[in-house]
Amino acid sequence: MQAKTTMDHADLIPDLPLEVRVHGRGGQGGVTCAKLIAGLFSQLGLHVQTFGDYGSERAGAPVQAYARIDRAPIRNANKVYRPGHLLVLDEALLGPHILEGVEPGALLLLNTPQPLAHFAGRFDRYRFAVLDATAIAREHGIGSASVVIINTTILGAYARILGLPLKVLDEAYAHLGLASDLPAAEAAFATVEIAEPRETAPAAPTPHAAPPPVMPILQHRADTPASLKTGNWSSQIPAYVESPAPCNHACPAGNDVVGFVQALAKGDSAKAAALLFETQPLPSVCGRVCPAPCMNACNRAAFDGAVNIRSLERLVGDSATATPTREDVLHPQHIAVVGGGPAGLSAAYQLARAGHLATIYEAGPQLGGVLATGIPAFRLPPEMLQRDLERILALGIKARLSTPIRKADLATLTKDHDGVVVAVGFGASKSLGIAGENLGNVEQGLAFLARVKEMPEILSGTVIVVGGGNTAIDCARTALRCGADKVKLVYRRAKKDMPAIAEEIAEAEREGVMVMAHRQPIAIHERGALADVVLAEMEAGPADASGRRRPVVTARTATLTASKILLALGQGNEHDLLPAGWSLRGARAYHGEQALPVYFAGDCAEGEGTVTHAIGSGRKAAAAILTRTHAVVLAKDVALPVAPGQIRFDAFPVAAPHADRLIHPAAFAGDFSETNLGLADAAEASRCFSCGHCTLCDTCLISCPEGVIAQRGGHYRVDPEYCKGCGMCVAECPRAGIEMQEKRV
Amino acid sequence: MNDVCNTAAIFRQGNTNCGGCGMSITLQMLRRAVGANPVHLVIPACCGAVAGGTFPQSTYGVPTIMSTFASAAAVASGLASVASLNGEGTRVIVLAGDGGTFDIGFATLSAAAERNEDILFLCYDNEIYGNTGGQRSSATPQGAVTSNTLEGKLEQKKDILAVMAAHRIPYAASVSLAHAEDTQKKFAHAVAQKGFRFLHVLSPCPTGWKSEPALGLELVRLAVRSGLWPVYEIFDGKRYTVSIEPDFSDEALGLYLSLQRRFQKSGLTAADLRPAIERNWQSLRALSGRIIPGKRESREG
Amino acid sequence: MSSQLLSANHAAALATTLAARANRKGKGFVSGVYPITPSTECMEYLCNQKIEKGRVVRVESEHSAMGVCIGGAAAGARSFTATSSNGLAYMVENCIAAANLRLPVVMVVANRTLGPPWNIWADQGDALLLRDAGLIQFYCASNQEVFDTVLSAFRLAEDGRVMMPVMVNMEGFILSHNVAPVEIPQQGLVDDFLPLTDIPHRLETVPHTLGQVELPHQNECHRFQHHTAMLAAAAIYDDIRAQFEPIFGRALQGALVPYRCDDAETLIVSMGTMGITAERVVDDMRAAGARVGSLRLRLFRPLPVDAIRAVFAGKKRIAILDRNIGLGLGGVLWSDTRALADPGAVVQNYLTGLGGGDVRPEHIAKIVADIAAREISGAPMLMEAV
């Protein structure tokens, strides 16, 4: 048998003459859809007619289009009132009138992401077909980002319903110049779901309604607002959602940075303090010594300089008068916290705030760990640490000082308590492993700092500090204050690679510390009371596992004579605290296979080495103790932070950051007073973009073309009945506080 | 901007303008400037007339009359005459597109301006005959593809503000909807001022410009930044004040062009437009008496 | 009451001035005007009157003249304009708008041939452009008639049952520039005659829109309501006439002016000044024993169909004179009225005075002779061919 020609397929079309009605939206191809249908039938050699119902509606408004098909020339110029085929291009158009004039048994083809089963019982009278033409067309890239054009796709499904072979569709698309959209049509052809009519009882005929009386023009003087609901023009609607600000996202302590800064910007320092106290027991400390990853992440950095968050935190910590409160719980748990450094303090703080009993076991004579011993007074005055500590202890936390905990003690503590947090910090300081390291004038930096903090000592001559972290900088600046004539800081990588806080490096250099980058001591020789340090030049070697190029020693050396050499190379975190049979899985201790209510926190668990990491870690441990799960969810765990590209920079005037007030004493010897006075006031807070967090700035409301955004009770509401979904509010929001969301049909 | 909800809307919900329409934004902003002043609105045949709703409903929240295409300023003259004869404070405002301003309405506009009628004539310029589906007008910029200039319009956009300045009307200004505060100031001044006031608003038209509806205000911002849309005021036809200093960014200009498909076919580039922009600003600098860019002066001195 | 020697243009302007002043306690008077021969003197005169609470806006085109009237009326004021020929053609769009918006603008048209080629003389073709547009149309034949008709046009246009534009026509030069005595009433009498303008759908403070989009059914209803109001206007005009006479002490001419028609066998039908010439011919021919009568239509829209049919009843020969031509058919008055004659009557159309030529008594006599010789109606004829 010969293959049928396209013309021959006309006899496949039953029920001629046929009338088709298409329901679509202005600008989305509804009229073209009817035209394509007419084109398809025309290819089959039939007489066709097609036209749109031209009203005055605009893009997005519901529109209708028609096609008529017959074997004889068409003699009807009216709209289609009784369609045999009804195509609905958008599920949201399924209103009460859509089936007007549609007889039982007629075809209803619906574009919807829902499967056939979803509509069970609703369209049983009709030959009902569904397909997700939008998804198919989007996948094939037909239309634009905001408007997917589905008419060429849906035609494929339509051909299948008509019973036309795929070959006819292919030929028709070639004839209609739509070859590029054929793959989408074929996908529709393959995936359309069709259900035959189940009910045969005809619907009651709709009576022909007499047109309503028309008010004479002369009586037209009352206010009659429009009844048209434009809310159904769009499948999307704006929603006010909070997205993680990069500062929050970056904060290891989990501080609500944007929250407290915005509270300051609004002049509400009490709220700022309350927000900080949620996660931050040591604001006066962190406000001074935190490396402030929040500031590195700040979106304003890419514009005119990061917001000076650290000093804003300091302002809050130093001036807060309120104290955190303790909750009441029916059955308080008793938790032992081993270690009184920032991690232990944070754990105890969170436990106490939650109403539990915490006892800190501290090996040393005072709380604070490295904060008390390792950070010089000119950077962190002891009274400021004391202030934070008192606030923590005021929650009813017990502190057992000079009480070291050993292996055996840990097992006992675990027995005697409902849980234990181990936060003993780093282990021993690292050494260089070179000849002469044990000479009398070579000393570990942390030991030096602790000693000087107890009692200032007198230095002279040249002091060499080895290392690039904050301890190294602190050592160098302390040495100056002890009277050293010259302080040279030796670092094996480039200056930009130094892990110390950039501002601190700058201050050290301003004070006279000389940074010698790309240098490493390879030997130390005794020279009477002094020592000769042999420094090798370093150059970048091959990359290590982390991708960082390890510096390697070269043959080029120079020798410096120093009165003292301070080592600030970091610390290890090896601890021999676990009793026999215990092991660590993650941060939790196990005895054999039995999980223990013992959690490790801070540097001994994570080894990040900053106060703020320790605080976050302590809080996590406290939550884990209480819930036996890791219940603390930090911003960074949830979603990506708001990127600079999402901030509308031009909404903000350029304004340089408010710098800290620095004191530059003429002579340092013996002067350990604080050199950084922080900010004078909270004006800096107003520079905060408030990324991802609505500030009620009214930009959305002012730019809404429809005037359908209203502010009530401290938040905005978009009227879904009228919002056309243009997205202007989203595009105009300076801070990514709104996003478009798909409506639920 | 705290009073945004306290005045009745001039342009209400249920209107049939496209989403993201600049005329809609214009009217929302106008509402805040009008405040409690009584207003009569005149709208010639344009999208604004269609958007008014179907009889007897009205999407306009003030008494409004639809005029024939060319007649807005004449009809407004009649309304303003009655308001003045009866000592009513009614502010008569014309809302016309670029066709009803630059083209068919031009003679009427010019005559009403020459008579210094007490009218605020607000032109929302979408640089196209939008209501008929996007044909070129004398406000269409050179290079823009329209439905009847498929290769891009060859001629330059008419400098309507220069024409209005030549009428020596008390106030004429161009408006950037992307600068709400400046817009607000100008709208408020124009509403309060007596005599003929002319405001020229660059009105993004996602349908005609073939751009994303959400990006309308961003496009205006780019046009301002690049210097393509100078934002300035003219008092009494002689005192020129630049309201917003552009940074003459070619990047902004390029972005402005690339975000609108109407410019894509003609292949217009920032470099093509730059000389005309520079000439335009040279004359604007001379007229404003400022060779060096300066800060915006307060109108009231 | 005083008598002044006035051109019809000035008479129209003076009537308008009095009507304008009469609304001083209402919303006032607004007029948009633009010069065009032969109407110019009317607007000039108006511009030089002092009108309390009135403004005459000297606009840049006829289109805007009517635009100003639309605005003025939409705000509730009494409004007026005057024009001619191409000016009216240019104004047409806004005349239709004023009519559709049901605004009671009064306009005076000095009928003149449309050009180019230019011809400044009388032809009713300009006004007939608006035959079907929803404006009431009067055609006058004397200066007094122009004065009285303009005055009562305000009353008719602004009647709450009518509320639409009224156009008062006079032939250019022939009447517009004809100077004759006109009885002018005191302002007080005009105040008594004309109520304050009250346009029910005017713009005030309640938000509503005039002229927005209408759906097909709304539009057809509004058109038909307009049509119905127009049909009712003839009777309302008669009411106005009944009130005119007691106030001003003289009769206001009716919609039709039949002259010696009752026993006539032959009827001369016309509009405008040709009608008074026809009356003189009737007198002359009656004196010679011919049973001839004249019917002059003053009200052309709404067309007083029943009244015309009543006059036509029993007439064997009806000569319809048109100072206009509906190209492709014939005279407009003829085409509109020929069906109102008795079956079998000879209805013959004569195109007379096109382009402003005089229609003298001997022309009309010749026409009467021509129709007397006819057994059946023929195609419309140019007067020269008779």
- A394 CA: distance to closest CA in chain B (Å): 44
Residue B6: pLDDT over 70: no
Minimum mean pLDDT range among A215-224, A500-509, A545-554, B163-172: A545-554
Q: How confident is the model at residue A348 (pLDDT cuts 50, 70, 90)?
A: very high
Torsion (CA) C110, C114, C118, C122 in degrees, nearest 10: -40
Write down the domain spans for chain C: 2-248, 256-385
Check if the beta carbon of residue C141 is closer than 8 Å to that of residue C276.
yes
Tell me whether strands A519-527 and A127-131 are parallel, antiparallel or unpaired. unpaired
Instruction: Judge if A514 and A469 occupy the same domain.
Output: yes
Candidates C12, C76, C9, C68; CA nearest to C38 is C9
pLDDT of residue B297: 44
Chain A hits for B31, Cβ within 8 Å: 707
Could you give the CA distance from residue A67 to residue A86 in angstroms, rounded to a whole number? Answer: 10
pLDDT of residue A214: 95
Task: State the residue range of the domain holding B160.
Answer: 22-288
Instruction: Judge if A615 and A588 occupy the same domain.
Output: yes
Q: How confident is the model at residue B2 (pLDDT cuts 50, 70, 90)?
A: very low
CATH of the domain at B93: 3.40.50.970
Given a contact as 3+ CB pairs under 8 Å, which chains touch A?
Answer: B, C
**Exposed e or buried b for every residue in A608-641, given b needs 16+ CB within 10 A?**
ebbbbbbbbbbbbbbbbbbeeeeebebbbeeeeb
Instruction: Judge if A20 and A95 occupy the same domain.
Output: yes
Contacts of A420 (CB under 8 A, 6+ apart): A335, A336, A337, A338, A410, A413, A414, A597, A598, A599, A625
Q: Is residue A215 part of a domain?
A: no
- Higher pLDDT pick, C5 / A666: C5
How large is the ipTM?
0.96
pLDDT of residue A6: 53
CA angle, A308 as apex, A304 and A309 as ends, to 5°?
130
How does pLDDT run across C67-111, given as a tens digit for each residue?
Answer: 999 999 999 999 999 999 999 999 999 999 999 999 999 999 999
- C105 CA: distance to closest CA in chain A (Å): 15
The percent of residues above 90 in pLDDT, for chain A, comes to 66
pLDDT of residue A204: 65
Could you give the CA distance from residue A265 to residue A257 in angstroms, rounded to a whole number? Answer: 12
Contacts of C242 (CB under 8 A, 6+ apart): none
Contacts of C48 (CB under 8 A, 6+ apart): none
Q: How confident is the model at residue A4 (pLDDT cuts 50, 70, 90)?
A: very low
Task: State the residue range of the domain holding A178.
Answer: 6-195
pLDDT of residue A323: 83
Could you give the CA distance from residue C175 to residue C275 in angstroms, rounded to a whole number? Answer: 12
With an 8 Å Cβ cutoff, is B36 touching chain C?
no
Which range scores top for mean pLDDT: A131-140, A452-461, A594-603, A679-688? A679-688
Give Cα separations from A319 to A270, A284, A367, A663, A679 (angstroms).
10, 9, 22, 21, 12
Instruction: Judge if A36 and A153 occupy the same domain.
Output: yes
Give Cα separations from A370 to A373, A402, A424, A601 (angstroms).
5, 15, 11, 15
Could you give the CA distance from residue A719 to residue A197 in angstroms, rounded to a whole number? Answer: 39
User: Which of C27, C64, C202, C218 should be substituted to probe chain B, the one whose Cβ sees the most B Cβ atoms within 10 Å?
Assistant: C64
Instruction: Judge if A543 and A480 occupy the same domain.
Output: yes
CA max distance for chain C = 68
Instruction: Judge if A519 and A604 occupy the same domain.
Output: no
pLDDT of residue C77: 98
CATH of the domain at A125: 3.40.920.10
Q: How confident is the model at residue A745 (pLDDT cuts 50, 70, 90)?
A: low
Instruction: Judge if A422 and A500 occupy the same domain.
Output: no
Q: How confident is the model at residue A1 (pLDDT cuts 50, 70, 90)?
A: very low
How does pLDDT run across B24-65, given as a tens digit for each residue?
Answer: 999 999 999 998 899 999 999 999 999 999 999 999 999 999
Instruction: Judge if A582 and A561 occupy the same domain.
Output: no
Q: Span A528-556, mean pLDDT? A: 87
Tokens read off for C105: 């603008």
Tokens read off for A163: 């019973």
Contact B4 A702 (CB under 8 A): yes
Residue A153: pLDDT over 90: yes
Q: How confident is the model at residue B273 (pLDDT cuts 50, 70, 90)?
A: very high
Looking at the domain covering C256-385, what would its CATH class be?
Answer: alpha beta
Q: Span A370-379, mean pLDDT? A: 92
Could you give the CA distance from residue A191 to residue A718 in angstroms, rounded to a whole number? Answer: 37
- B283 CA: distance to closest CA in chain C (Å): 31
Candidates B48, B36, B46, B76; CA nearest to B197 is B76
Residue B299: pLDDT over 50: no
- The pTM (predicted TM-score) of the whole model is 0.88
Please tell me which of the candidates A56, A214, A224 has its beta carbon nearest to residue C218: A214
Chain A hits for C224, Cβ within 8 Å: none
Check if the beta carbon of residue C68 is closer than 8 Å to that of residue C30.
yes
- Total number of domains in chain B: 1
- Higher pLDDT pick, A633 / C214: C214
Q: Span A79-103, mean pLDDT? A: 89
**B77 by DSSP, 3-state: which?**
helix
With an 8 Å Cβ cutoff, is C60 touching chain B?
yes
The rounded mean pLDDT for chain B is 92
- Total number of domains in chain A: 4
pLDDT of residue A61: 82
How does pLDDT run across C10-52, given as a tens digit for each residue?
Answer: 999 999 999 999 999 999 999 999 999 999 999 999 999 999 9
Could you give the CA distance from residue B76 to residue C64 in angstroms, rounded to a whole number? Answer: 10
Q: Is C340 left (phi over 0), alpha (psi -120 to 50) or beta?
A: alpha
Contact A701 B4 (CB under 8 A): yes
User: How many other CB atoms are found less than 10 A from the CB of residue A572?
Assistant: 11
Given a contact as 3+ CB pairs under 8 Å, which chains touch B?
Answer: A, C
Tokens read off for B225: 């930044």
User: Which of A148, A702, A712, A722 should be substituted to probe chain B, the one whose Cβ sees the most B Cβ atoms within 10 Å?
Assistant: A702
Q: How confident is the model at residue A3 (pLDDT cuts 50, 70, 90)?
A: very low
Q: How confident is the model at residue B292 (pLDDT cuts 50, 70, 90)?
A: low
CATH of the domain at A721: 3.30.70.20
Instruction: Judge if A476 and A623 occupy the same domain.
Output: no
Could you give the CA distance from residue A110 to residue A460 in angstroms, rounded to a whole number? Answer: 88
Could you give the CA distance from residue A392 to residue A353 in angstroms, rounded to a whole number? Answer: 9
With an 8 Å Cβ cutoff, is A234 touching chain B?
yes
Q: Span B164-171, mean pLDDT? A: 98
pLDDT of residue A718: 96
Q: Span C138-144, mean pLDDT? A: 98
Minimum mean pLDDT range among A28-32, A344-348, B239-243: A28-32
pLDDT of residue A203: 62
Q: Which residue of A has its CA nearest to C163?
A: A218
Q: Which residue of A has its CA nearest to B224?
A: A650
With an 8 Å Cβ cutoff, is A221 touching chain B?
no
Chain C hits for A216, Cβ within 8 Å: 222, 225
Q: How confident is the model at residue B4 (pLDDT cuts 50, 70, 90)?
A: very low
How does pLDDT run across B174-223, given as a tens digit for each residue?
Answer: 999 999 999 999 999 999 999 999 999 999 999 999 999 999 999 999 99
Q: Is residue B267 part of a domain?
A: yes
Burial (CB < 10 A; 0-12, 13-18, 19+), residue A581, is exposed
Burial (CB < 10 A; 0-12, 13-18, 19+), residue A433, is exposed
How does pLDDT run across B122-150, given as a tens digit for each residue?
Answer: 999 999 999 898 999 999 999 999 999 99
Q: How many CA atoms within 13 Å lie on the side-chain side of A444?
A: 13
- Higher pLDDT pick, A12 / A161: A161
The rounded mean pLDDT for chain C is 97
Q: Which of B:57-96 have CB within 8 Å of C?
A: 57-58, 60-68, 70-71, 73-86
Q: Which residue of C has its CA nearest to B107?
A: C60
Tell me the one-letter amino acid at A392.
I
Looking at the domain covering C2-248, what would its CATH class be?
Answer: alpha beta
Angle, in degrees to the nearest 10, between helices A257-265 and A269-279: 170
List of E strands, C284-332 = 292-297, 299-301, 317-322
The percent of residues above 70 in pLDDT, for chain C, comes to 100
Could you give the CA distance from residue A58 to residue B18 in angstroms, rounded to a whole number? Answer: 5
pLDDT of residue A322: 83
Check if the beta carbon of residue B137 is closer than 8 Å to that of residue B129.
yes
Residue A8: pLDDT over 80: no
Check if the beta carbon of residue A259 is closer than 8 Å to that of residue A316.
no
Contact B78 C28 (CB under 8 A): no
Candidates B176, B222, B28, B47; CA nearest to A703 is B28
Could you give the CA distance from residue A571 to residue A609 in angstroms, rounded to a whole number? Answer: 9
Contact A216 C101 (CB under 8 A): no
Q: Enumerate the H helices of A176-242 as residue ranges.
A: 182-191
Instruction: Judge if A389 and A505 occupy the same domain.
Output: no
Could you give the CA distance from residue A217 to residue B214 in angstroms, rounded to a whole number? Answer: 38
Residue A538: pLDDT over 50: yes
Tell me whether strands B91-97 and B39-43 are parallel, antiparallel or unpaired. parallel
**A383 by DSSP, 3-state: which?**
helix
Candidates C265, C272, C311; CA nearest to C290 is C265
pLDDT of residue B87: 96
Question: A85 φ, ψ to 5°?
Answer: -125, 130
Instruction: Judge if A164 and A25 occupy the same domain.
Output: yes
The rounded mean pLDDT for chain A is 90
- C75 CA: distance to closest CA in chain B (Å): 6
Instruction: Judge if A417 and A446 occupy the same domain.
Output: no
CATH of the domain at A549: 3.50.50.60
List of E strands, A139-196 = 193-195
**Do the domains spanning C2-248 and C256-385 agree at the CATH topology level?**
yes
What residues pair up with A444 in beta bridges, in sequence order?
A567
With an 8 Å Cβ cutoff, is C26 touching chain B?
no
